[in-house]
Structure 1
């Protein structure tokens, strides 16, 4: 079986799942407008989606190292969609947090196993995994558009419509699972692995992922509101900024895979983080419509390392591919949510611009963490 068809199906399925990570941030302006949430309360919703996910993804990764669980792909996809779909149908803040947390659990269960399957069907090289990662970025980018379209007529009470991508994604992964099952019984990553784990390098890579996560999720939670503030526009102006933040990631992911075919992965990741420092500074300090340019540049810079970090983590931990995927793929969108309430609280007491300024330091810390890393093997 050629890797092209299964990777395309997995990429589209990945897109359907990551719609729900982007949808949480896209719903924040609606929660603020309809329920009068402050910055801290709004960031708590992002935290609810991220907290359970950040804890659960490495757990699911460790489980997939012991047992292959391809059935998680359709089940977790549906779970992610149901949580977001129910988040707007109740006025209770506690129930909203609970439903968003359920969605986060579904997202957490999906990523380690899907990354293992994607690496299995794509074989050597970086192209297949970059296309798989691209699917997730497209899902992020489409989330504001889908949320706006679904909620345009009646607001939060129309969130049940958002379950549709989950249904599509769960169906699309079934042919891949059938094809894998027809080859041979699925085996765990540990059983198939060869090589020695480089735990020190993996921990340094993980630190870079965490710092990247903080800046990306922080911007995801507040760039919509910040763009409205900087441009004087309305909800559409904010939605455009969030769309660019996610769409630039698609460009960055494809670019990262191509650059890694010319230079080694570690070099590409290092240089990308350095260039991202200036882009984040532009988002924070440049006024007017130019902020959109820097949002797009920031997104591309943060996503050039995205798929490369996944395969680097798997190569640093060749006997624990699921765990590596759970950390590098999961933490990129979950641990940052733990810091977003701090950003929201600071914004409540100062200004949104002041609260976003510390994010400029995060790509610097990522660069420092991997400055002396070497390419595996």
Structure 2
């Protein structure tokens, strides 16, 4: 449990630093005279570097575990944040966020593996605790950015590099445990699904990828453009919009903790039905609500949608046993990649139309959840 808490706290620090990037978009947009499309490209550069490398890291570390790769990855994040605070051109911004993305791509596959190793067989609970750390970090980041960066400007990002140093020290301790753990005899705890045909596995993984598309394209509308939506539609201030983004992301953090443990008890498929399709009525109504109801619906949507990802990751790990790093890398990479593509696409769409239209279009994305019907029921399949 101590290691699980430590890796969850590391995830909090890692994602806190990552969330600073979209939080400073209003400042960068004004200072560098950027379009929404250019803002989207910054997010794309960050999230593509955070996604493309993850499966490769996972494949390599499945065969050759590297306990101290975690503090090394955090070093890239440190350099990226310092570079972002000093960037004077648009291209420097792209390089800086790419370095932060590389740090993330090294962190997530191995950190997810350590969460599973320290789970004691309760993989859903461990994955939820690991991910909720990241969610809380993502929620706290915009709040700290509103306090530190908004008042100090771009140079204020440098303060968050101190968080990277703290995370490097914590992850070095975790790396020592991981190294010692690999030297001990392993007690096998199998959670693989029995005798599923290869076509069923491939179909199931494809459906899970579709659910990821639904979830993270919709989430991109919030993480990258919710502040702009609130300022354009309701004329709130930058500080107020950052606070409301924090409220949404805090709801995401709270919702994440439920998906894994419930999946351990009643099956991942039940969680997916609720967490994808359960959000549909609220996403459809959100674009037509006033400010108070927008806040309320955003909290409900965050709570419901966020329970999906722990269930998706553990479901995929059970479908492909023995490839924890690869599966974690693919699905964490998908989460970043789809979010980045979504941010870029939605930014361009907002330039052509409006932010309000983007939210009305994205409201239909949870309908992809009807594909869950074709997934095998993992709870009933267990011996």
**Which TM-score applies when normalising by structure 1?**
0.92
**147, 170, 173: which is aligned to 2:171?**
173
**201, 207, 224: which is aligned to 2:210?**
207
1:63-95 per-residue CA deviation (whole Å, 9 max, x = no partner) reads: 122211221211112312331332132220011
Write out aligned runs for 1:218-367 (5 A): 218-365=221-368, 367=369
Aligned partners of 2:313 and 2:331 also within 8 Å: yes
Displacement of 1:259 in angstroms is: 2.6
Unaligned runs of 5+ in 1: none
Query: Aligned residue for 1:11?
Result: 8
Query: Aligned residue for 1:133?
Result: 131
CA distance in 2, matches of 1:141, 1:217: 14
CA distance in 1, matches of 2:357, 2:273: 27
Displacement of 1:375 in angstroms is: 3.7
Q: Does 1:95 align with 2:104?
A: no
Displacement of 1:174 in angstroms is: 2.4
Structure 1 SS opposite 2:359: helix
Query: Aligned residue for 1:374?
Result: 376
Displacement of 1:314 in angstroms is: 0.9
The farther-off stretch of 175-184 and 205-214 is 175-184
CA distance in 2, matches of 1:90, 1:72: 27
Q: Does 1:23 align with 2:20?
A: yes
CA distance in 2, matches of 1:333, 1:242: 19
Displacement of 1:138 in angstroms is: 0.7
Displacement of 1:256 in angstroms is: 1.6
CA distance in 1, matches of 2:363, 2:310: 22
**Which TM-score applies when normalising by structure 2?**
0.90
Deviation >6 Å, runs of 4+: 192-197
CA RMSD of aligned residues (A): 2.2
Query: Aligned residue for 1:119?
Result: 116
Query: Aligned residue for 2:34?
Result: 37
**56, 80, 83: which is aligned to 1:83?**
80
Structure 1 SS opposite 2:278: helix
CA distance in 2, matches of 1:256, 1:281: 23
Displacement of 1:261 in angstroms is: 4.2
Aligned partners of 1:57 and 1:112 also within 8 Å: yes
Write out aligned runs for 1:56-67 (5 A): 56-67=53-64
Structure 1's 135 and 324: CA in aligned 2 closer, same or farther, altered over 3 A?
same
1:175-205 per-residue CA deviation (whole Å, 9 max, x = no partner) reads: 22222322343899xxx99777733322321
Q: Does 1:105 align with 2:102?
A: yes
